[in-house]
Structure 1
Amino acid sequence: MQQILDAITAGQAGDATSEDFASLPLPEAYRAVTVHKDDVDMFEGLEARDKDPRKSLHVEDVALPELGPGEAYVAVMASAINYNTVWTSIFEPVSTFGFLERYGRLSELTRRHDLPYHVVGSDLAGVVLRTGPGVTRWRPGTEVVAHCLSVELEDSDGHDDTMLDPQQRIWGFETNFGGLATIALVKSNQLMPKPAHLTWEEAASPGLVNSTAYRQLVSRNGGNMKQGDNVLVWGASGGLGGFATQYALNGGAVPVCVVSNEEKAAIARSMGAELIINRSEEGYRFWNDEGTAQDPREWKRFGARIRELTGGEDIDIVFEHPGRETFGASVYVTRKGGTITTCASTSGYMHEYDNRYLWMNLKRIISSHFANYRESWEANRLIAKGMIHPTLSRTYALADVGQAALDVHHNLHQGKVGVLCLAPEEGLGVRDHELREKHLTAINRFRGV
């Protein structure tokens, strides 16, 4: 791996060619973050919050998988933590080994994924090492990021919207050989150009959440946001919400940002948001202490506060991802004919709401899951142009990935948490220093918070 890292360093200096990368010997094994099939029951009887990713995430050497047609090996300089890694590490809502078993039954090639360990991670920034038969776009030595959509596209359903492919999966969550490793195996159509003004860790951090926010809010497959829309953004300074806030502002909408403390409110204001609701200060309690019933009076109080901020207007689009805790309020405060877009459900999947406020007011609930190929490229293009910025707040070493996942699990983070894989330190990988200097404040907005 040191030889690979040396070649990447030389490539950054302009002293290594594609042929140099193609001739590099590949290791038989590489360092990776895994969960083990034998550990699936290790947290039996514990509440979700008490399950500790530091106990289930292993950093170990694993065998390099065979490279198949249409695939690529990528030397991973940096990756990031997403909630799907947290879910994988605590084996909720289900063990991911069921995903790997089903994928393994699909073909001889996919059988490689059905292993007693799962290499996790759905983000990366790095350098192409090898490509399999049929790959024409990407050459060894190319600096790339990866989106996490894995599809087979052998059925007609996915050819209008790749997210509708019956074999759609999230790489590193529903497939093996993910990005929290020194080498990753990806389908070549997951690869996109690395934004040249960002460091490795900055470039790795937007992938999953940026594309997810783009589809959920901007795309015609999601909220189809337009100028002037009032957009309610839950967790407006978090991994998803931080991008949703940027997209609302960038697209001429008016974000109403819900945050949990003044520190997070300050981040939202620094992005340009003006309408802020601090949930802790204002004390909204949508559920009783037992979590068995909601209080519609609190929905009404919340809606009144929104109208106070907007000058009497209701919400056009709700960017909804907490799920159970907030969904009843989200449906209530949306304007007649408005839209609630939903993904993730980090506070619980069993949503409850009063259907009268949906049905009689012609509101719509739109489900949204990651992004298709076009949406992922559009989202990455906006990052590369400096129109949307990473939300990276902190970076961990690969050896400390358990702590990084625990921080995300307990919501102790802001924005995104990065992980250095092959990169020996932060701050490496920048090529376009002029563009970086222009946006340095925005790039570092979440740092140190």
Structure 2
Amino acid sequence: MPHLDEIQQAILDGRLDAIAELPVPESYRGVTVHADEVDMFEGLESQGKDPRRSLHVDEVPTPELGPGEALVAVMASAINYNTVWTSIFEPIPTFTFLRKYGKLSPLAKRHDLPYHVVGSDLSGVVLRTGAGVHNWKPGDEVVAHCLNVELEGPDGHNDTMLDTEQRIWGFETNFGGLAEVALVKANQLMPKPAHLTWEEAASPGLVNSTAYRQLVSRNGADMKQGDVVLIWGASGGLGSYATQYALNGGAIPVCVVSSPEKAEICRKLGAELIIDRTAEGYQFWKNENEQDPKEWQRFGAKIRELTGGEDPDIVFEHPGRETFGASVYAARKGGTIVTCASTSGYLHQYDNRYLWMNLKRIIGSHFANYRESWEANRLIAKGLIHPTLSKTYSLEETGQAALDVHRNAHQGKVGVLALAPEEGLGVRDEELRAKHLDGINAFRGA
């Protein structure tokens, strides 16, 4: 579309003041799933479902801009596990979310469509803002967090994650970030870190904010200096940020990984205590229905061997069914298991005697509120936490990118270019970047 070409060129040329004068395109390219294909994987196990079949790049109409909202020209985005879930229609097709949201109001009805533009991360430039927006203007370089709230009821006003109409943008709403244009609420926007490229800046959003709330915030584990923190998947998209937060906060991370290559990435981040669960051969389940407490004990003994006899104060949980029994067992007396996901299965089993008799706590943690997301992004902008981008794909290759995440064939975060024609663009602070280049590139090529 010529108008989108003009917007793209203005951004690449640094003519951000011109954005407000350029017309918004009537349509744009977005990565979608289709409502008439939700049964395409029927009968297949999860691992046999291929996102390359279900994710499409379509030309879609630009949505109407409502009050308190913004349209953003997306330079880059990233893959999260919620995009994988969307693409394989698990645990339910996301069209269920869109239909429910569409019933909320005439404006929300825009989201109930036979296609779903996916993606919960972006970096880009504000194109237009709706009525009532005063903190942002066309031409602002931004990133977006993925919390979508209405805040018309009282429940969300201490913690917006508790809003009765809390949703994850691009997963439970339409018009997500894996596209050339995205629709967000203005209170999702944050300043783009000036020392990062478009693809680097897009990659932390969801996982960085999630890790911050889960581990650092008072709403999560409230980590303190000296805490022993057991981190599952410590080199992955979520765990790589948890590892950085533990190290920066004076805690002692015990990093659980699945290969020597992933162990080496954790060492690059500065971690010293590492468990390669594949090399150790842990089998926490005897069969589909029965776990093996002896394996929990062997795992706990390995942790104490590394820590000098200490059990974890905090267990950073997200694999779910496969590991949850071991996590509850491994936490110290009075310790905390904080969970934000269940990538290996939602139905957790654990021996409650280890929980109640040892006064342990299980805390559920889901994404982050605006303040937590802002703080997490501020740490990125100051160079205290770094993006964990390992590889970048084109918009047309989003299906392959999602497949790599689905099969755990990736490290850190996987990026996707939208309007950015190539990697390496968008850096505004070369001096700060030079100071942190090793940290920024720690996952590159991994």
- Give the distance between the partners of 1:114 and 1:375, measured in 2 at CA: 29
Residue number in structure 1 paired with 2:289: 292
- Give the distance between the partners of 2:400 and 2:310, measured in 1 at CA: 43
8 Å Cα contact 2:316-2:339 kept in structure 1: yes
Residue number in structure 1 paired with 2:8: 5
AA of the residue aligned to 2:13: A
Residue number in structure 1 paired with 2:219: 221
Residue number in structure 1 paired with 2:149: 151
Residue number in structure 1 paired with 2:335: 338
- Residue 248 (structure 1) aligned with residue 246 (structure 2): yes
- Residue 57 (structure 1) aligned with residue 29 (structure 2): no
Residue number in structure 2 paired with 1:102: 100
| SS at structure 1 position matched to 2:155 | helix
AA of the residue aligned to 2:214: Q
Residue number in structure 1 paired with 2:313: 316
Aligned residue pairs, count: 443
How much has 1:16 moved relative to structure 2?
4.1
TM superposition score normalised by structure 2: 0.99
Q: Which runs of 5+ in 1 are unaligned?
A: none
Q: Which runs of 5+ in 2 are unaligned?
A: none
| SS at structure 2 position matched to 1:269 | helix
How much has 1:9 moved relative to structure 2?
1.5
Moved over 4 A (4+): none
Residue number in structure 1 paired with 2:369: 372
- Residue 36 (structure 1) aligned with residue 39 (structure 2): no
| Matching of residues 156-167 of structure 1 within 5 Å | 156-167=154-165
- Give the distance between the partners of 2:378 and 2:75, measured in 1 at CA: 20
| SS at structure 1 position matched to 2:332 | strand
How much has 1:311 moved relative to structure 2?
0.5
| SS at structure 1 position matched to 2:128 | strand
- Give the distance between the partners of 1:145 and 1:343, measured in 2 at CA: 22
- Percent identity, aligned pairs only, is 78
| Per-residue Cα deviation, 1:19-57 (whole angstroms, up to 9, x for no partner) | x21111111110000000000101000000000000000
- Residue 206 (structure 1) aligned with residue 209 (structure 2): no
| SS at structure 1 position matched to 2:345 | coil
| Per-residue Cα deviation, 1:287-344 (whole angstroms, up to 9, x for no partner) | 12x3221000000000011111100111100000000000000000100000000011
8 Å Cα contact 2:65-2:71 kept in structure 1: yes
Distance 1:16 1:142, change over 3 A: closer
AA of the residue aligned to 1:134: G
Residue number in structure 2 paired with 1:76: 74
Residue number in structure 2 paired with 1:307: 304
Structural RMSD (CA): 0.6
| SS at structure 2 position matched to 1:335 | coil
Residue number in structure 1 paired with 2:417: 420
| SS at structure 1 position matched to 2:13 | helix
2:19 to 18, 21, 34: 21
- Give the distance between the partners of 1:29 and 1:9, measured in 2 at CA: 20
Residue number in structure 1 paired with 2:110: 112
| Per-residue Cα deviation, 1:78-116 (whole angstroms, up to 9, x for no partner) | 000000000000000001001000000000100000000
- Give the distance between the partners of 1:47 and 1:284, measured in 2 at CA: 23
- Give the distance between the partners of 2:299 and 2:242, measured in 1 at CA: 20
How much has 1:10 moved relative to structure 2?
2.3
- Residue 178 (structure 1) aligned with residue 181 (structure 2): no
Residue number in structure 1 paired with 2:346: 349
| SS at structure 2 position matched to 1:25 | coil
- Give the distance between the partners of 2:226 and 2:59, measured in 1 at CA: 52
AA of the residue aligned to 1:100: L
| Per-residue Cα deviation, 1:156-211 (whole angstroms, up to 9, x for no partner) | 10000000000000000000000000000000000000000000000000000000
- Give the distance between the partners of 1:357 and 1:118, measured in 2 at CA: 43
- Give the distance between the partners of 1:448 and 1:65, measured in 2 at CA: 37
- Give the distance between the partners of 2:202 and 2:258, measured in 1 at CA: 26
1:188 to 186, 189, 197: 186
- Give the distance between the partners of 1:139 and 1:353, measured in 2 at CA: 50
AA of the residue aligned to 2:154: S
TM superposition score normalised by structure 1: 0.98
- Give the distance between the partners of 1:128 and 1:447, measured in 2 at CA: 28
Residue number in structure 2 paired with 1:440: 437
- Give the distance between the partners of 2:148 and 2:267, measured in 1 at CA: 36
AA of the residue aligned to 1:4: I
- Give the distance between the partners of 1:28 and 1:127, measured in 2 at CA: 17
8 Å Cα contact 2:213-2:220 kept in structure 1: yes
- Give the distance between the partners of 2:177 and 2:52, measured in 1 at CA: 18
